[in-house]
Amino acid sequence: MQISGECFCGEVKYRIDGKLHDARSCHCSRCRKAFNAQASVYALVNPPEFTWVSGNYLLTTYVSDYDFGLQFCSKCGSTLCGIYKGEVHGVTLGCVVGDPQIEIGKHIFVGSKAQWEIIPDGVLQYDEDAPENA
């Protein structure tokens, strides 16, 4: 399977030669700020399957505590991926082109979600991070 993605302005593009896995929506305050939304929507990727196709010179990297960070387009501001120890480990689903054939499997950090957000009943939720392999 091949998956592609791009930023809002279309200058930065990537390709994944494989499948995404472990899709989740994070509702923590840091994700709300980073993604300017009620939550982030994110899926993991096997790093060797990820390739920047064009525009990677426009990437800006922000690294926070514990070697986690984000990479985004310096031209349009789209957050494209998450990094861990300098390596891409996941992509934001909003920048994926087409159907990545994955569904959000869990909502994490709902214990700190915005007071104005309503999460529907029946959605798998964790007050903090989900246990490994959940």
E strand map for 37-120 = 40-44, 50-54, 59-63, 68-73, 79-84, 87-92, 96-97, 106-108
pLDDT tens, per residue, the chain with 134 residues: 899 999 999 999 999 999 999 999 888 888 888 888 888 899 999 999 999 999 999 999 999 877 889 999 999 999 999 999 989 999 999 999 999 999 998 988 888 888 898 888 888 888 888 766 55
| Helices within the chain (DSSP H only) | 29-35
**pLDDT score recorded for residue 100:** 93
Distance from C-alpha of 124 to C-alpha of 88, rounded to nearest angstrom: 26
What domains can you pick out in the chain, each with its CATH number? 2-22+42-106 (2.170.150.70)
Is there a contact between 66 and 26 (Cβ–Cβ < 8 Å)?
no
Q: What single-letter amino acid sits at 52? A: W
Q: Which residues pair with 51 in a beta bridge?
A: 15
Query: Model-level pTM?
Result: 0.86
